[in-house]
Amino acid sequence: MPIEVCTISGFSKTGGNSIAFKIDEEVVILDMGLSMENYIRYTEDREDVTAKNYRDLLHVGAVPDYSYIEDWKNKVIAIIPSHAHLDHLGAIPFAAGIFPKAPVICTPYSLEVLKSILADDHIIIPNKLVSLNLNSSYKLSKKITVEFVYITHSLPHTAMIVLHTPYGKIVYANDYKIDLQPTLGQKPNLERLKEIGKEGVILLVMECLYAQAHIKTPSEGVAKQLLKDVMLGVNSEGKAMIVTTFSSHMARLKSIVELGKKLNRKIVFLGRSLSKYVKAAENINIINFEQEARLVGFRDKVEKTLKGIMKEGKGKYLIVCTGHQGEPHSVLSRLAQGETSFRFESGDIVIFSCSVIPVELNRENRARLEQQLKSKNVRLFTDVHVSGHAAREDYRDLLDLLKPEQIIPSHAGHDKAQLLKEYAQDLGYRKVQIMDDGKRISI
């Protein structure tokens, strides 16, 4: 068969996303992500990427296993991450060098984040780095062209990747939502997806993380309203107000900054990963928080800033910090554990503008952090959030646009994949293949 697919990682379980397509004698790898739970247990670093080598990370199951495509190793012509989340891009510093002649092609924001990780950890990779704008194409070879179609998600510059081959189009929809009222950036390019569907899609790889949810995922505008109800709707005079969310979620951070200004509070961002992702977005003019918020990344400077906040008065500040999953070394965990000069008082406000990522380690860490905060009589607001992932009605909309011949569920284990398979089959799509990590099929 002219096209073979190897589902390298992220198909038997959630995380560590990576898939390879062999088209005649050329191979393209989409995503090269970390399995975050295993990575965190090994590095004991919840906030950021910490330099380790590929062999050690592979031993603990933290990176995709590229021995599955050992016989394709010299045929790889490109590595293409769909966006800048670490479970899609975070293994590139450790694994891309296995394929030294393959350029890494990604969106401008993904490239900024990747360059920041490489610089911070003094990692040099042999691969050429190529920036490709959204709604643009790049010719990989005489036979293969990659196209980035703009789609909404919970961080900037997420691409729905389309591989144009002589045998039809392959669409990779791994992390997306269809948000027609985004608070930052454009609306998804549904017109182009509809055109692609008419041109002929031979395979759709689509996430199934929320295959159990009989809803359309709400717009990010809903999350902004939820935040407004809490931040502006409770009496916070003289009290600390702390918000934690995903460091890469620029749209959410933008809403938090806007609401902090309405409260007339000085806004500080505390934590390395917040500093990394925000600076990457500012470098390419996605956002500009510089005039409105102070970024503090390193621990000694965080401590100095907290001393200043305690001296001037907590009620004058809005603290945006790392720690939304209860990460032990994050800023919020250190505040709760009394490891800094900051001291909680009864009635101080802590807002979790996030969900708990449903893995055991995160549940344990978040439960521990929440208990520590409750013991200090803090006002705790949780799940002030909407997801960046599609749910069943979004799946239906995408299927209606693309009308694929075959479907492979991704980004979750077999329980969710089976739900997507049954749903797609109910809609008339008979060829739905549930895959394991390391398995191959021909299409």
pLDDT at 37: 86
Indicate the SS3 state at residue 138.
strand
DSSP state of 387: -
Same domain, yes or no: 198 and 228: no
Domain ranges, residue 335: 220-381
Q: What is the CATH number of the domain that holds 329?
A: 3.40.50.10710
Percent of the chain with pLDDT over 90: 92
Contact between 386 and 217 under an 8 Å Cβ cutoff? The reply is: yes
Look at the block and give the residue holding tokens 């021995």: 67
Cβ atoms of 266 and 235 closer than 8 Å: no
pLDDT tens-digit profile of 321-374? Answer: 999 999 998 999 999 999 999 999 999 999 999 999 878 888 999 999 999 999
CA-based R_g, the chain, Å: 22
- One domain, residues 52 and 182: yes
Q: Is 394 buried (19+), middle (13-18) or exposed (0-12) by CB count in 10 A?
A: buried
Q: Residue 49 has what pLDDT?
A: 56
Chain segment 193-237, per-residue pLDDT in tens: 999 999 999 999 999 999 999 999 999 999 999 999 999 999 999
Structure tokens at 131: 């920036």
pLDDT of residue 46: 44
Kindly give the parts of the chain with pLDDT less than 70.
1, 44-51
Domain count, the chain: 2
Burial category of 414 from C-beta neighbours within 10 Å (exposed 0-12, middle 13-18, buried 19 and up) = middle
Provide the CATH number for the domain around residue 57. 3.60.15.10
Q: Looking at the structure, do residues 271 and 400 belong to the same domain, yes or no?
A: no
The domain boundary, picked from 346, 381, 416, lies at: 381
Domain stops at, among 333, 359, 381: 381
Contact criterion met (CB below 8 Å) for 114 and 95? no
Provide the pLDDT for residue 226: 98
Whole-prediction pTM: 0.95
Q: For residue 372, what are the CA distances in angstroms to 55, 271, 307, 327, 335? A: 37, 20, 21, 13, 10
Closest CA to 35 of 14, 52, 20: 14
